[in-house]
Chain A
Amino acid sequence: MTRHAGAAAGFGALLRGIGSFVWLEYKALLYYPASFFMTVLQSVINMGIWFFLSLFISGYADRYVASFGGSYVAYVVLGVAFHEVARTALKSPFLSIQTAFWEKRLETYRIFPQGFWAYVLGRFLWQLLFALVVQTVVLALIAGLAGLNFHPEANVGLALLTYLLFILSAFGLGLLGASTFFFLEVKRGVEPVGWIVDYAVRLTSGLYYPVTIIPAFIRPLSRAFPHTYAFRAMRLLLLQGAAWQTVAADVITLAVYAAVAIAIGFYLLRWSLARAEAGNGVSAVV
């Protein structure tokens, strides 16, 4: 009887594992095609709501966003599109762990050296790609129908880099939030980090209105989140055609934020997993 050589380790194996989980999510999507259609439609509707809401008050709000091109509609639509993708990155790790836990798959993934991380990263990658495609389509739709004008000299490359750093920052926060699944025993519902970030970002990061109109005593809170820097930089780049010098501080802040958040999130999640396995384990006891 031939014995197996043992599960493969190393970066190559991790990449293959990630690819496998991406493929698994793709197959799940094919199994429920109606779900895909409804998700896209929901995103279109969500964007549509903010489009019409911003249109409703644009006559009064445009002057508050003069530094971003002067169109409150464009200001809000861009913010919503980027926020939805970042939100996916923020929530993905916790939701993935929660799903695998209650479906009793987490222990199975932990058996293999890269199993757990391949699962978390694979699902994150799939959800991110999906969200990117959907939001790009939605943005194009709204831009086309409503005539949103991006600056003709917008630095698209720098905008993409900013976007990537923004997503990585959100993912780092997501890893942090995912660690609460074990060390705070948040097994059901919403995890506290994501919940706090979600609300704080909506209220203070300039997503729906410029930071300048926030009461002064709350304004410092906006500096705590990568969203503030990302929204500002993306809007300046795409709506004002800003140059590198204008957004350098924001982009560098995002890069540092992404590195620190991912590092802390990774170690905290790894620590909480080890702690759980030393305690009650990572399996749902039913």
Chain B
Amino acid sequence: MKGKAPAVTSKTVLTQLASVWTFGIREFRMWRSYRMNQLMWICDILMSSFLFFMIGRMVGDQSAELLGVYGANYITFILIGMGVNYLIATNLHDPFARISRVYWDGTMDLYLLSPMSIYTPLVGLMARSVIDDYPRVFFIVLFGTTLFGARFALGHIPEAILFAALILIASFGIGIISASTFYLFDFKRANEPVRFFIQEVMAALVAGTYYPVTVLPYPLQIVAALLPHTYAYDALRRLLSPGADLRTPNLVLHSALPTLTPIQVDGLALAAGCLAFIPLGLWLYKAGIERARRSGTLTRWQ
């Protein structure tokens, strides 16, 4: 007589959430023991902020002319780019790294031999990244405002939080797709191509982290239009930079949808990214686990 799996109930979902919380506590305890690492990234933020502060001195009080729709504060423009980049890079980069870790240390078998779903360790292990990387945004804002003259507009905080959430979700979706390649295509080496091409090639060059997309040749602006990063930078700069323009279009997709405001277009694009990348990522990840179960490559201990 075949058995039935327990039906998915709220208790089961709660159990998964409890496991994610457990991972969080563990990752926090581990993070606490790396004090030097924390000191180094605080210094890294300070130095990077100072670097762009110095570059900004060459622009001087002509920032408004330079930045156009993005307000009148060059350092604010840069710091929003840096902060959003930290969040995106974490969510996009780390899932693959975490799956790689559980493969090489042999714990994927143990995680699967538990009531956890296959997705729970993936989410749970991200806790380290969240604990280590997300607070950097706080330090960016802190150093920027206290030392380097950054100013932020506070009139659209709820919208900014919404856009931040959307880009976190969309980038996590790409991150899961990247993680799935570990098992699906046997990308056991560190340079996984999905993450490399999207984050370290395309997004780094064209998404507008350190300069507006409008600086790029038009073909590269079209490439930028394909990335969720582009819309996150655009929206958050418009919402958080003093003197920014909420209405004037400047991206390719803004011109393609002239009846909508730039913020609305950015929101739609990010929502579409979330709806596309998350289900695709989950499906590919599951396919990767099943493939690994068939080939016996869940961990390096066989």
- A residues touching B (Cβ–Cβ < 8 Å)? 32, 34-35, 38, 41-42, 45-46, 48-49, 52-53, 55-57, 59-61, 64, 72, 189-190, 195, 199, 202-203, 208-209, 213-214
Contact = CB atoms under 8 A, between A and B. Distances in A.
B47 A49 contact: no
Contacts of B50: 203
Contacts of A52: 205, 210-211, 215-216
A86 B37 CA distance: 25
Contact of B55 (A41, A42, A208): A208
A55 B51 contact: no
Contacts of B54: 203, 208-209, 213-214
B216 A208 contact: no
A170 to B, nearest CB: 19
Contact of A56 (B43, B47, B205, B211): B211
Given A32-B189, A42-B200, A195-B40, A53 B210 contact: yes
Contacts of B55: 53, 57, 61, 208-209
B295 interface: no
29 contacts: A38-B196, A42-B200, A42-B201, A45-B201, A45-B204, A45-B205, A48-B205, A49-B210, A52-B216, A53-B210, A53-B211, A55-B215, A56-B66, A56-B211, A56-B215, A57-B55, A57-B58, A60-B60, A60-B62, A64-B58, A72-B58, A189-B37, A195-B40, A202-B47, A203-B47, A203-B51, A203-B54, A209-B55, A213-B58
Interface residues of B, number: 28
A213 B53 CA distance: 11
Contacts of A203: 47, 50-51, 54
A190 to B, nearest CB: 7
B280 interface: no
A245 to B, nearest CB: 29
Contact of B57 (A34, A41, A55, A213): A213
A49 B215 contact: no
B212 interface: yes
A269 B211 CA distance: 43
A15 to B, nearest CB: 33
A57 B200 CA distance: 23
Nearest to B58: A61
Nearest to A61: B58
Nearest to B54: A209
B8 interface: no
A213 B191 CA distance: 39
A209 B55 CA distance: 7
B13 interface: no
Q: Interface on chain A toward B: helix, strand, loop, or mixed SS?
A: helix
A2 B11 CA distance: 76
B215 A202 contact: no
Nearest to B209: A49
A59 B215 CA distance: 12
Interface of B: 36-37, 40, 43, 47, 50-51, 54-55, 57-60, 62, 66, 189, 191, 196, 200-201, 204-205, 209-212, 215-216
Contacts of B196: 38
Contacts of A53: 55, 210-211
B202 to A, nearest CB: 9
A30 to B, nearest CB: 15
Contacts of B215: 52, 55-56
Contacts of A42: 200-201
Contacts of A64: 58
Nearest to A214: B54
B89 to A, nearest CB: 14
Given A32-B189, A189-B37, A209 B58 contact: yes
B189 A35 contact: yes
Contact of B40 (A34, A41, A48, A190): A190
A35 B191 contact: yes
Contacts of B200: 42, 45
A60 B60 CA distance: 8
Contacts of B189: 32, 34-35
A55 B211 CA distance: 9
Nearest to B214: A56
Contacts of A209: 54-55, 57-58
Nearest to B208: A52
List 10 A-B pairs, minimum CB-CB distance, nearest first: A56-B211, A61-B58, A56-B215, A60-B59, A199-B47, A38-B191, A53-B210, A48-B205, A53-B211, A45-B205
Contact of A189 (B36, B62, B191): B36
Contacts of B51: 202-203, 208
